[in-house]
Amino acid sequence: MSALTHSPAWLALKAHHSVMTTQHLHQLFHDDPSRFEKFSLCFKDILMDFSKQPVTAETVDLLLALAQQQQLQSWIARMFSGDKINATEQRAALHTALRSEQPVYCDGVDVLPDVKRVLKQMERFAISIQSGARRGYSGKIFTDVVNIGIGGSDLGPVMVTEALKPYWVNGIKPHFISNIDGAQLTDTLRHLNPETTLIIIASKTFTTQETLTNAHSARQWFLANGGSEAAIAQHFVAVSTNRTAVTQFGIDPDNMFEFWDWVGGRYSLWSAIGLPIALTTGMDHFYALLAGARGMDRHFATAPLQQNLPVMLGLLGIWQINFYGTASHAVLPYDQSLHRFPAYLQQLEMESNGKRITRDGETADYATGAVVWGEPGTNGQHAFYQLLHQGTQTVSADFLAPCQSQYPVDDHHRMLLANFFAQTEALMTGKTGEEVRAELQKQGLSGPALEQLLPHKIFPGNRPTTSILFKKLDPETLGALIALYEHKVFVQSVIWNINPFDQWGVELGKQLAGKILSELDQTETITSHDASTNGLIQYFKAHR
């Protein structure tokens, strides 16, 4: 057994769980009508209601005791102050410095001047593109921005530009190419005119096979469709930490936007990786996004743990994952604009905390994360909610919604929110046998027909949800929401004693394909792998 699962705070929660597990959420609400007031928190326009989680005041106290035991406050301070808490890569994790207004020191040097310098460079560039001062090779203004990047160099900008569509600058459209599958590149570029297309190659390392391959193909497309070598400098820019590789690729370092190794890929949308956001929505809105995240940073760093949204969200996850054994977590935005938010959080959470070795090099004997997934409501209701309501496993869920729609159309938003409230209520209360029986009798059913149908219409309820409501999905609120989840992930990593800032599993993927790639060109039979992999390679070669 690990030190964590042996620890007093853990054991106290375990004992408490054995009592709580006999209680139905419905009963908890019946016993205490003030649950909403007790178990909801506010930060600016964001309300987080966790009263539909199986918690009492004692649960909260015990979770906070666990946070204290794991020295959460000291870890938070270490992260903000630039300690090299990404120990396996000997790096700081300073994404918060990207939105800071105060000096932040890394290796004794204030990083803020560099951060501000690149933000200014982005601002100048965005203004020059939007105003038409900087144009394509034929003198036409830019109308399309293509971001070529993958993982952390893709998901954040995709999610944010989609979420902030109502803020798009007139006449500029973003496109994203991430997959090495030629389908995405072909499908994106075939609609575009090289004369009016700006291409951003976004890669922290500038060595990622998918991105570099797509970048080379985009270059060929540009040259084959009217562009010239001389015009490349006007149409291609890079975002990277690797100046040498950018230069080798043929991009003028003047057209490079820099960031730093203390920015993790999945935490990088606040850096120059956010260039597509700035170009599409305008630098003012990018600054507002940063301001929203900065507000949440301050809240995370200074609010008492009990009133701290990221802390409580993280601890509720611990309660579900480690004590209730909930292995699946759904993110359900009742806002179509957030349709890529679940995919973004999937990377943030699963890449950060999907680890089995602790900071001390031990194998964790406890779960370190759930499978994160989701789709916007109400689409999900007509697809997978069946399992949430009546399946054999419990899935925890975050429901998110704005009070004001960005797209007010007739009665749509009222109906959307009615679904949000109805679903969280139904997941919590369920429907008992007696209720179903009364319903069926009212419909005129009786005898064996009623008895046969009855069990199928029972809903156990007691399904845990957290509701996050906010006034409107403006850039500032979105920034705060993203930072809320970034810090939630950090809180959980501290409890689990793991490093959330490395990603050796991703690195493995980057190495593995390289070896097989050369084998795909060999004519002789491949025998260097297991029988399955050899067989699959042979089949592919025979049928390509």
Catalytic residues, by residue number, are 351, 382, 510
How many whole angstroms separate alpha carbon 133 and alpha carbon 207?
32
Stretch that binds ligand G6Q, among 113-121, 199-207, 318-326, 402-410 (CB under 6 A): 199-207
- Binding ligand G6Q (rule: CB under 6 A), the pick from 54, 136, 156, 265 is 265
Tell me which of 95, 266, 299, 355 binds ligand G6Q, using CB under 6 A. Answer: 266
Nearer to ligand G6Q, 175 or 266 (CB): 266
Query: Length of the chain in residues, anyone?
Result: 544
- Name the nearest CA neighbour of 330 among 385, 402, 383, 382: 385
Q: Is-contact 271 118, C-beta < 8 A?
A: yes
Shortest CB 327 distance to ligand G6Q, Å: 23
Q: Which is nearer to ligand G6Q, 151 or 295 (by Cβ)?
A: 151
151 binds ligand G6Q (CB under 6 A): yes
**Which span sits near ligand G6Q by CB under 6 A: 18-26, 99-107, 144-152, 379-387?**
144-152
Report CA-CA distances (Å) from 446 to 431, 435, 454, 457, 458: 19, 14, 10, 15, 16
Identify which range of 53-61, 202-210, 405-413, 448-456 contacts ligand G6Q by CB under 6 A: 202-210
Among the listed residues 175, 204, 235, 463, the single contact to ligand G6Q using CB under 6 A: 204
CB nearer ligand G6Q, residue 277 or residue 315 = 277
- Selected binder of ligand G6Q within 96, 211, 467, 499 (CB under 6 A): 211
Q: Which is nearer to ligand G6Q, 96 or 326 (CB)?
A: 96
Among the residue ranges 158-166, 259-267, 277-285, 474-482, the one whose residues contact ligand G6Q (CB under 6 A): 259-267
At 178, is the secondary structure helix, strand, or coil? Answer: coil
In the complex, least distance from residue 121 CB atom to ligand G6Q, rounded to whole angstroms:
19
Q: Is 111 helix (H, G, I), strand (E, B) or coil?
A: coil
Q: Smallest distance from the beta carbon of 371 to ligand G6Q, in angstroms? A: 17
Distance CA 434, CA 450 (A): 12
N-term to C-term CA, the chain: 51
How far apart CA 58 and CA 67 sit, in angstroms, is: 14
Question: 204 vs 294, which CB is nearer to ligand G6Q?
Answer: 204
Nearer to ligand G6Q, 32 or 89 (CB): 89
What's the rounded Cα separation, in Å, for the pair 247 and 7? 52
CB of 542 to ligand G6Q, least distance (A): 32
271 in contact with ligand G6Q (CB under 6 A): no
When CB distances to ligand G6Q are compared, the closest residue is 151
C-alpha distances out from residue 319 to 13, 203, 306, 459, 463, Å:
8, 36, 15, 23, 14
Residue selected from 136, 156, 194, 264 as contacting ligand G6Q according to rule CB under 6 A: 264
Which member of 32, 506, 519, 529 binds ligand G6Q (CB under 6 A)? 506
Chain positions 54 to 113 lying near ligand G6Q, rule: CB under 6 A, are none
Radius of gyration of the chain (CA): 26
For 27-88, what is the HEC assignment? HHHHHCCCHHHHCEEEECCEEEECCCCCCCHHHHHHHHHHHHHCCHHHHHHHHHCCCCCEHH
Q: Are residues 431 and 455 in contact, defined by beta-carbon separation less than 8 angstroms?
A: no
Contacting residue, 208, 381, 396, 467, with ligand G6Q by CB under 6 A:
208
Minimum gap (Å) between residue 477 Cβ and ligand G6Q: 24
Map residues 328-357 to x or -, x wherever contact with ligand G6Q holds by CB under 6 A. Answer: -----------------------x------
Please write down the HEC assignment for all residues of 328-395: EEEEEECCHHHCCHHHHHHHHHHHHHCCCECCCCCECCCCCCCEEECCCCCHHHHCCHHHHHHCCCCC
CA distance 187 to 239: 23
Burial class (CB in 10 A: 0-12, 13-18, 19+), 425: middle
Q: Write down the least CB distance from residue 493 to ligand G6Q, Å.
A: 14
Cα 331 to Cα 372: distance, rounded to the nearest angstrom: 7
Cβ proximity to ligand G6Q, 96 vs 208, nearer residue:
208
Question: Stretches 203-211, 299-307, 333-341, 450-458: which one binds ligand G6Q (CB under 6 A)?
Answer: 203-211
Strand 173-177's sheet: what is its strand order? 173-177, 144-148, 197-202, 236-240, 256-258
Q: Which amino acid, one-letter code, is at 358? A: T
User: What minimum distance in Å lies between the beta carbon of 152 and ligand G6Q?
Assistant: 3
Q: Which is nearer to ligand G6Q, 328 or 352 (CB)?
A: 352
Nearer to ligand G6Q, 54 or 265 (CB): 265
Please list, in sequence order, all residues whose beta carbon lies within 8 angstroms of the beta carbon of residue 486, skipping any fewer than 6 positions away: 95, 267, 310, 348
Asked if 205 interacts with ligand G6Q (CB under 6 A), we say yes
| Backbone phi and psi for residue 502, each to the nearest 5 degrees, phi listed first | -105, 180
Q: Which residues bind ligand G6Q (CB under 6 A)?
A: 150-153, 203-205, 208, 211, 264-266, 351, 503, 506
